Structure 1
Amino acid sequence: MALYDPYRHDMVAVLGETTGCLALPSLRDKMKHHPEGYRILQERPRIRLSTLDMTRLRGLPDGTLGREYVRFLEDNKVSPDTRMPPKFVDDEELAYVIQRYREVHDMMHTLLGMPTNMLGEVVVKWFEAVQTGLPMCVLGAAFGPIRLSARKLQVLATELIPWAIRSGLNASCILNVYYEQRWEQSVESLQEEIGIFPPPAIRVNPPLLGRQNDTIRNKGLNPGSTEMAAACAVSGS
């Protein structure tokens, strides 16, 4: 169920915990050997509505991580509180590692410019699979595209997956960023710091973009920008 429906957070959580026995210790070690990652392990911050000052984040300038993260949550009608606590990981430190991974998942959507539709989720899963090695991500990346249309599969295979893989290989460990202390940093500079490449300039026919054409024209989006990648991904299956 978790492979075919990434919106079933409960099943996704169970799959991640029961298959991550090798990847989780590796991720923990990466965090322990990185100054910022080590501090995260020691302080164990949580990304929850109760820990976020949503009013302050909404007031940050456009383009900052905090403003764009809140925009992502509101535009896609999602909440960080939907991330379930670990139930099948006995080691307390490893349990926090997978909890942290879950809670920064929406941050990956923000940094990659991907919405929460099936295409956007698959792209993020490819990036996360390369980054984390978690079998859950690998399986989601492999089986998620089954539900996509032929046109979206073409864009995915020729443009978005290669970009997600290259970015995942090039980027530093996503768990070693203390996002809560980077709210005022621009998304662009954080992308560069982590090592996420600019998204491809996707050229598709208007029917695939659908109503996003008006959004692109009104906002004056750059075809090679993160916003353009998201606009291309938002259209229906």
Structure 2
Amino acid sequence: MEFREDMYPPAQPVRPLHAIKTFMVFMRDKEDTRQVFNFINALNGTSVRPAFDRFFEGPNGKLLLEKDPQALLRAFDDRETLRQLPIGTVGRTYADFMDREGLDTDGVSQANKEAGFFTDEFARDYPEYAAFIWMMNLTHDLYHVLTGYNRDSLGEAALLNFSAVMSCSRGTRALSWLAAARIKSEAPGLPIFKINAYGRKMGLEAKDLLKADWIGMLERPLREVREELNIVPDPVYAALPQERLLALVAPQAA
């Protein structure tokens, strides 16, 4: 498949004021993932174009666009098979994480659709770009496993900073730092900015996850995959008690 300029949709206008308003809504309820996409899309402009190009030219683009569009979803969603893998493998750790958190395999994409940016019409008009966005949404929770960041507010903020390196998303990086600033205001004694900065450092030093063999890594030991991808989890974040992390920026009533 050859690249065509019309594969990439027209950029949405950059709307910083709308982004700030959206961020305030999200801070009142961090489970309202729709606001994440509202914020990111308000700032992205054309920033993710280089990441789309890497995806299209890489093995995952060929897999999803030319061979089997459902390959990743089928592999990630087969929890029964993943639960049978040895403890310590990527797939088993991913299945345990998803079960523990009560997450749907395609839940991030569903939130994106609910936000109104990943509609069936959009996928029909820009199928190649939609496949790229879908892969980024689908692998978000596997990023949690690879990086060691949990779903507490600080872990999510640092993971966004890591993800922004892979996706080239200006909105994702901005959201990461705004979230970190909010967390710092409520936990001034914790090294919030240091931990958040490490997320970006980890992403810059890691290999390109847009070209990772997602299906092939599931049966492999997590430690081995991390070494291969040059992903080194943050020891400062890992040393913080989980109960302390879960208490950060608790959702507030609207």
* TM-score relative to the length of structure 1: 0.75
Aligned to 2:69: 44
Alpha-carbon separation, structure 1, partners of 2:148 and 2:91: 14
The question of 1:156 aligning with 2:195 is answered no
| One of 174, 177, 192 as aligned partner of 1:142 | 177
1:23-42 aligned at under 5 Å gives the runs 23-42=47-66
Matches within 5 A, 1:19-168: 19-42=43-66, 43-45=68-70, 47-48=72-73, 52-82=77-107, 83-84=109-110, 85=113, 86-87=118-119, 90-148=125-183, 150-151=186-187, 154-158=190-194, 160-168=195-203
Structure 1 contact 24–97 (Cα < 8 Å) conserved: no
For 1:235 and 1:7, the matched residues in 2 are separated by 13
1:53 Cα deviation from its structure 2 partner: 1.7
Among candidates 33, 45, 66, match of residue 9 of structure 1: 33
Q: Cα offset for 1:67?
A: 0.5
- Distance (Å, rounded) in 2 between the aligned partners of 1:64 and 1:51: 13
How far has the Cα of 1:232 moved from its partner? 7.7
Distance 2:193 2:232 in 1: 17
Separation in 1, partners of 2:173, 2:142:
19
Q: Amino acid of the residue matched to residue 191 of structure 1?
A: R
Distance 1:96 1:18 in 2: 21
| Kept in 1: contact 2:39–2:171 (CA 8 A) | yes
Query: Partner of 1:216 in structure 2?
Result: none
Aligned equivalents of 1:203, 1:9: Cα separation in 2: 24
User: CA 1:40/1:176 → structure 2, altered by over 3 Å: closer, same or farther?
Assistant: farther
1:114–1:233 Cα contact (<8 Å) kept: no
Q: Which runs of 5+ in 2 are unaligned?
A: 1-20, 249-254
CA gap 1:202/1:233 in 2 versus in 1, 3 angstroms: same
Matches of 2:40 and 2:232, distance apart in 1: 27
Count of equivalent residues = 212
Paired residues of 2:180 and 2:196 also in contact (CA < 8 A): no
Q: Contact 2:161–2:197 (CA<8 Å) still a contact in 1?
A: no
- Secondary structure of 1:197's match? coil
- Structure-2 separation of matches of 1:34 and 1:203: 32
Q: CA contact under 8 A between 2:94 and 2:145: conserved in structure 1?
A: yes
> Are the counterparts in 1 of residues 89 and 222 from structure 2 also a CA contact under 8 Å?
yes
Of the structure 1 ranges 195-204 and 171-180, higher mean CA displacement relative to structure 2 is found in 195-204
Higher mean C-alpha deviation, range 171-180 or range 40-49: 40-49
1:196 to 231, 246, 249: 231
Amino acid paired to 2:247: G
**Contact kept in structure 2, 1:172 and 1:194, CA below 8 Å:** yes
Read off the aligned partner of 1:109 and give its amino acid letter: H
CA–CA separation in structure 2 for the residues paired with 1:39 and 1:203: 35
| Aligned-residue RMSD, C-alpha | 2.9
Alpha carbons of structure 1 residues 108 and 201: separation in structure 2 relative to 1, 3 Å = same
| TM-score, length basis structure 2 | 0.71
Distance 1:181 1:152, change over 3 A: farther
Q: Please say if residues 207 and 229 of structure 2, whose CA atoms lie closer than 8 Å, have aligned partners that are also in contact.
A: yes
Separation of aligned partners in 2, 1:19 and 1:199: 28
In 1, the alpha carbon distance for the partners of 2:196 and 2:209 equals 18
Q: CA deviation at 1:153?
A: 6.8
CA shift, 1:134, in A, is 1.1
- Would the alpha carbon gap of residues 152 and 176 (structure 1) be closer, same or farther in structure 2, given more than 3 Å must change? farther
